[in-house]
Structure 1
Amino acid sequence: MLPGKVPPEVLEKIVFGFLGAKDERVILKSGVGIDAAAIDFGENVLVASSDPITGAEKHIGFYAIHVNANDVATFGAKPKWFLATILLPENSDETLLKEIMEDMHENAKKLGVSIVGGHTEVTIGLNRPIVIGTMLGEVKKEKLVRSNGAKPGDMIILTKGAGIEGTAIIASEHEEKLKNAFGKEFVNRAKEFLEKISVVKEALIAADIGVNAMHDPTEGGIANGFHEMADAAGLGFRVYHEKIPIAEETKKLCEYFNLDPLALISSGSLLIAAPKEKAEEIVAAIQKEGITSAIVGEFLDDNNIKTIVKEGEEIPLKRPETDEIWKLF
């Protein structure tokens, strides 16, 4: 298998058939395109999600908090509690651990999240640190958003644009090389995409207005995100390339490294399946907060149609085999 997420067909064949004991309180469990579990706690629902940070070394604590908080927020839940497993390479000094903990601490405080546990060790065979996070949140049962709840005819809304996280990672990991190519000011702007990683604000805004599903595309970018949402709901989709926001910094970095921005890791983007009558209201409410938001397509009843319209031609949008970011490591 290639680096990155395990392919959906492998998950279906090997992973999802081995999930332990059944529990009637599990409202929503593991599945393709489902990034968190929802567990019945009476009036409230506990939402739990887990994600590792493997493709970045700088700001790894920042990513660990926000990537996991994003998954919980897409269920309409407020992120509240966080556990972290920190794996350090051999011969790491205490400074590295301190940087990771300070990073997680500051960003958890900003979201009102408590770090309540985890595990820390020095691990044989690593050449960079890895942080595996688990975020817990809660939401009133009637406000729960299901990631597999998209309906035929729903509008697909995308916030911020394609390749948000990838832009920040590339600019940080290849800073000196890119300064020579594009200049210091450009690289600094691209590095600042790190500040766009959280989707908690827009997810909770959208959930309050009323949506059928939300998903934060990570590995494989928004292209994979479209597929994951459609697969989870058993639907097809049609998206329009010219409607997809792609920042100038993202475009230039992808052209420089010959990467596809639609398949570039995109934490910070949020995909929303919105009833047609609410789509414009959701876009306007999110834009009011200074966050780019656009209707980029629609979900279709026919799950055999998964296409993108580009320069007037409708063509299949292939699911990325791996994230574009791995080409640089």
Structure 2
Amino acid sequence: MSKLSPADLDRYIFSRTGATNDGLLVGAGYGEDAAAVEVGDTTLVVSTDPISLAAERIGTLGIAIASNDVAACGGRPEWLVSTILLPDPDTELLDDITAQLDAEAERLGISIVGGHTETVAGLARPLLSLTCMGPTDRYVPTSSAEPDDAVILTKGAGIEGTAVLATDFRDEIENAGVSSETLDRATGFFDDISVLPESAVLAPVATAMHDPTEGGVLNGLVELACASGVRIELDEGDVPVRPETRTLCASMGVDPLRILGSGALLATVPGDEADATLAALEAEGIDATVVATVEEAADESDVGVVYGGQQYTDGVRDDMYDLWD
């Protein structure tokens, strides 16, 4: 499983978007988390996302991931439509999933207003597809980072991936010598997946924001840089990684910067506003760090992220995908 390249997205997706109707402010584009539609005097942010691999907390993660995309554009997630596809008519599994959806939506103040549920022959595991919507006073795209902006990362790399490792692969990690206490703390990272609190702080000042999901923080930065036509040089030592994340990733042989990254929010802010923005986040109890500076690209070939001596211009495959194979 991996994301399509920017060229394939342009050819097969972004060039085939049906009719052009009035009111569309921002449509499909590389790296963009959500669309923006003008509805009367309001801008409505709309995003959709699937989830299939995190079996233990698929409903909890599904709500958080879908609403994060709206929040990453400055929106206030309020409504959600849920499609649930099951491999067989297992009402116990359905009960677990819908209980998780209900609890997380209630916690985040989101109403589940509709959807669809059915069984699909040949499906190996449950699949959710969630569409989230909410209004915004200021839409913030992924594609507006400017040279000299500071790149801020909230919380740290691999928050979601750590929680999924701690649940879906607990036995393997315990057998590798990781303590149950460490795994229990890592499981608690599910409580940190939502980025609604930091979005409320960052949206008024950010030039661009992005929700790093598949491929982790590294892929999120690549998408932000390429969408904005800029260059970002990333030093691994500048990216905060929690001790539990380092331990679990080492036990499974994956890179913390290349695993499921929900729970962190990437934002670029004018360089002279970085300190004040970090202070505002700290006042809300949100950890945040400046991890890089946006640079002007010398030419088209210079666009992307430089990390570990390599330039990245296409999507980064998530290290965790091979664990489910």
Going from structure 1 to structure 2, the CA distance change for 1:42 and 1:147 (only over 3 Å counts) comes to: farther
Counterparts of 1:319 and 1:269, CA distance in 2: 21
Unaligned segments of structure 1, at least 5 residues: none
1:128 is matched with: 125
Match of 1:274 in 2: 269
Q: Which residue does the alignment assign to 1:7?
A: 5
Shift of 1:219: 0.5
* Contact kept in structure 1, 2:229 and 2:303, CA below 8 Å: no
Cα distance, 1:117 vs structure 2: 0.5
Q: Which residue identity does 1:131 align to in structure 2?
A: L
Partner Cα distance (1:277, 1:189) in 2: 36
What is the CA distance between 1:256 and its match in structure 2? 1.6
Q: 1:258 to 1:284 in 2, by over 3 A?
A: same
Q: Does 1:97 align with 2:94?
A: yes
Q: Is the 8 A contact 1:223 1:319 kept in 2?
A: no
Instruction: Tell me the amino acid that sits aligned with residue 185 of structure 2.
Output: R
TM-score, normalization: structure 2? 0.94
Within 2, Cα distance between the matches of 1:238 and 1:44? 37
Contact 2:80/2:111 (<8 A) preserved: yes
Shift in CA distance, 307/85, structure 1 to aligned 2, threshold 3 Å: closer
In the aligned structure 1, how far is the partner of 2:3 from the partner of 2:220? 12
Residue 201 (1) aligns with residue 206 (2): no
What's the secondary structure of 1:324's corresponding residue?
A: coil
Query: Partner letter of residue 24 of structure 1?
Result: D
1:212 alignment partner in structure 2: 207
| Structure 2 SS opposite 1:136 | strand
Identity among equivalent positions (%) equals 38
Query: Which of 4, 27, 30 is equivalent to 1:29?
Result: 27
Q: Which among 224, 228, 248 is matched to residue 229 of structure 1? A: 224
Paired residue type of 1:77: G
User: Could you tell me whether the CA contact under 8 Å between 1:241 and 1:308 is conserved in 2?
Assistant: no
* 1:111 aligned partner: 108
Q: Which moved more, 1:55-64 or 1:4-13?
A: 4-13
Query: Structure 1, residues 124-154: CA drift from partner, whole Å, max 9, x if none?
Result: 11121111000000012xx221221111111
Report the equivalent of 1:16: 14
In the other structure, the counterpart of 2:318 is: 323
Structure 1 residue 286 and structure 2 residue 317: aligned?
no
1:167 and 2:162 matched: yes
> SS state of the match for residue 38, structure 1?
strand
**Letter matched to residue 198 of structure 1:** S
Structure 2 residue runs without a partner (length 5+): none
- Matched residue, 1:77: 75
Corresponding residue for residue 253 of structure 1: 248
Tell me the number of residue pairs that the alignment of Structure 1 and Structure 2 aligns.
Answer: 320
The DSSP-based 3-state class of the residue aligned with 1:49 is strand
**1:182-237, CA deviations, whole angstroms, 9 ceiling, x for partnerless residues?**
111011011111111000110111113x1111101000111110111111111111
Query: Residues 249 and 213 (structure 1 numbering): CA distance in 2 closer, same or farther, change over 3 Å?
Result: same
- Paired letter, 1:196: D
State the shift of 1:308 in Å: 4.2
Distance 1:167 1:116 in 2: 31
| In structure 1, C-alpha distance between the alignment counterparts of 2:253 and 2:96, rounded to whole Å | 32
Q: Distance in 2 between matches of 1:203 and 1:106?
A: 21
Measure, in 2, the Cα distance between the counterparts of 1:239 and 1:107. Answer: 34
CA displacement at 1:156 relative to structure 2 = 0.4
Q: Deviations over 1:31-50 (max 9, x none)?
A: 11011100012321000000
Q: CA deviation at 1:15?
A: 1.1
